[in-house]
């Protein structure tokens, strides 16, 4: 994907999350069922967590509700979502599509990137971000990814829209890139990449990380998100 197309998709999603920050945050009030298994990778003594693409801080609230001792840092590009966040720690606004967006944040026992990597346009950019998240891990730490498997659901496939609706040709984007509609609090469009098991395996290998756990949870279907836990 060329840089001009990537920036157009970033701008598309930025406009989406600015306009729909409140209804989007409201739809994410409760923790996902898939969060529960991630507690197995949280140090019993407590530790540091980095939430990459934290949005309104749902994972931070989940850790707090579980009574876990945590030094939490949440990072997101959407200032309107961060303004709505209720999370126990530091919140930082960064453009995660740019190199070095995590460089000065420190090392963490658990890094999570939940339903965010799928919004990074360009497979090379996604590989770079996974490598940078891996570089943020403390010794023995884990990186957890969750990515939406929407093409496996007829209900979710109905959201797919033609690229022409945002003035792009399908040839300008990569295989697995989709334009999806949103219908809460108004009608909107956003960019989402399908990151399935094979794509996740390639990302892990490119970053020098190994897959230690993988499972599906969430949604009415019970399997709409693919969770992958990685270690160095």
Can you spell out the DSSP letters for 3-62? Answer: HHHHHHHHHHHHHHHHHTHHHHHHHT-SPPGGGGGGGGGS-TT-EEEEEET-TTTHHHHH
**How big is the CA angle at 101 (ends 131 and 69), to the nearest 5 degrees?**
80
- Between 197-207 and 123-135, two packed helices, what is the crossing angle to 10 degrees? 50
| pLDDT score of 17 more than 90 | no
| pLDDT score of 29 more than 80 | no
Gap between the Cα atoms of 145 and 117, Å rounded: 8
In percent, the amount of the chain with pLDDT more than 70 equals 100
| pLDDT score of 87 more than 90 | no
The reported pLDDT for the residue numbered 84 is 84
55 touches 83 (CB < 8 A): no
The reported pLDDT for the residue numbered 197 is 97
The reported pLDDT for the residue numbered 26 is 81
pTM as predicted: 0.94
| pLDDT score of 184 more than 80 | yes
Identify the residue with better confidence: 15 or 28: 15
Rounded mean pLDDT, 53-61? 91
The reported pLDDT for the residue numbered 78 is 84
Chain mean pLDDT for the chain: 94
In percent, the amount of the chain with pLDDT more than 90 equals 80
The reported pLDDT for the residue numbered 83 is 87
Bridge partner list, 179: 161, 191
């Amino acid at each position: 994907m060329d840089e001009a197309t990537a920036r157009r998709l970033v701008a598309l999603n930025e406009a989406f999350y600015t306009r729909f920050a409140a209804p989007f945050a409201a739809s994410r009030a409760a923790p996902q069922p898939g969060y529960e298994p991630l507690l197995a990778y949280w140090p019993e003594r407590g530790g540091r967590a980095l939430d990459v693409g934290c949005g309104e801080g749902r994972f931070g609230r989940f850790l707090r509700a579980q009574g876990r001792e945590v030094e939490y840092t949440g990072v997101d590009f959407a200032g309107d979502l961060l303004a709505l966040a209720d999370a126990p720690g530091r919140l930082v606004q960064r453009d995660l599509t740019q190199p070095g967006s995590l460089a000065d944040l420190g090392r963490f026992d658990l890094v999570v990137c939940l339903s965010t990597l799928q919004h990074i346009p360009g497979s090379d950019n996604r590989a770079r971000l996974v490598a940078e998240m891996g570089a943020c891990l403390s010794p023995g730490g884990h990186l957890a990814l969750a990515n939406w498997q929407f093409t496996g659901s007829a209900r979710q496939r109905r959201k797919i829209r033609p690229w022409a609706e945002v003035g792009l040709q399908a040839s300008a984007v990569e295989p697995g890139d989709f334009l999806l509609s949103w219908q809460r609090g108004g009608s909107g469009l956003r960019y989402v990449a399908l990151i399935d098991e094979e794509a996740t395996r390639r990302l892990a290998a490119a970053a020098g990380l190994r897959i230690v756990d993988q499972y599906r949870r969430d949604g009415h279907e019970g399997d709409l998100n693919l969770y992958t836990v990685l270690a160095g």
